[in-house]
Structure 1
Amino acid sequence: MTGSGDLDHCGVGIRGVAVAIDSFVWFVLLFVAVFPVAAVTGDVSTSGGTTNADLSGTPAVVALALWLALGVGYHALLEWRYGRTVGKYLVKIRATSADGSSLSLREAVVRNALRLVDWLPLCYAVGIAAVLTSGRAQRLGDRVADTVVVRD
């Protein structure tokens, strides 16, 4: 594709479905982040066939930072390499540069690091407002990275 006018930009609805699917991956990544930190700090307990991690203070902050880094990394690496996450793949959309070309690593990292701001104050309120007020359906991360999400 040669120009952004040829691209079929995706709005809030289909992107929301992709995010909902990717939320399952984020949920798994929460365990990937929390339990190793809890194991290292000795904050894992097992009783009645269940395993619990009870983190507070610095270990909780470390686990949260690790979880956010894994989540942003999941999006950034898959979008850089394949143009899509699992959620985007299943709903047949992809992230591209504004001209329709594949994302650079920088674009993928920038758009996804700002995902944390787009999520504020809760449930992507900033991102939804940005998409609804953008001529190319771009959330804040897309605007800064000059990327778009399009249908296949």
Structure 2
Amino acid sequence: MEETDHPQYCGIGIRGVAIGIDSFVWIALLFVAIFITAAFTGQLETGSPGLNAELSGAPASMALGLWFVLALGYHTVFEWRFGKTIGKALVNIRVTSEDGSSLTFTSSLIRNAMRFVDWLPALYLIGIVGIAVSGQRKRLGDRVAGTAVVGS
């Protein structure tokens, strides 16, 4: 990146496209969580149409919790190791530390754990407002972790 003194901070639109793409990964991870939980609890059924898992109660809660861990892990590991998730890579943006260096594991974990707060009350409302009012277009997770989303 030639403009190291003045990075191009990414706004709501391009970040929304990236998270929209990443939502397909989330859906895949949801199926993984459901089928792992169903296999673990003995509720995985096989038949001519394929695999089936109907979870309720505690097993459904376990699957939801596993899904949250997998989704958090996806974002944390990909941004820590590569600076971007699949969605960010496809729209050519990346996450850096405020000084432009690569993320540490801790900063990536903090940034992504805050995603649960940025999501509130629904559809990333806190995150969107944070980006809109920030000069560096940072959501709450970026502010707490000392990170920024910039063009690649």
TM surpasses 0.5: yes
Partner of 2:71: 71
Instruction: Kindly provide the amino acid, as one letter, of the partner of residue 44 in structure 1.
Output: L
Structure 1 stretch 140-149 or stretch 3-12: which is displaced more? 3-12
The CA deviation at 1:99 is 1.1
Structure 1 stretch 93-102 or stretch 41-50: which is displaced more? 41-50
Runs of 4+ residues over 4 Å off in structure 1: none
- Equivalent runs, 1:72-151 vs 2, <5 Å: 72-151=72-151
Sequence identity (%)? 55
1:95–1:148 CA contact under 8 A, matched in 2 = yes
Matched, 1:19 2:19: yes
The CA deviation at 1:4 is 7.7
Give the 3-state SS of the residue equivalent to 1:95 in structure 2: strand
1:4–1:99 CA contact under 8 A, matched in 2 = no
TM-score w.r.t. the length of structure 2 is 0.93
Count how many residue pairs are aligned between Structure 1 and Structure 2: 151
The CA deviation at 1:123 is 1.4
Give the 3-state SS of the residue equivalent to 2:72 in structure 1: helix
CA RMSD of superposed structures (Å):
1.7
Q: Which runs of 5+ in 1 are unaligned?
A: none
Matched, 1:45 2:45: yes
Query: Distance between the aligned counterparts of 1:13 and 1:38, measured in 2?
Result: 37
Q: Alpha carbons of 1:111 and 1:60: their partners in 2 closer, same or farther (altered >3 Å)? A: same
Q: Which runs of 5+ in 2 are unaligned?
A: none
TM-score w.r.t. the length of structure 1 is 0.93
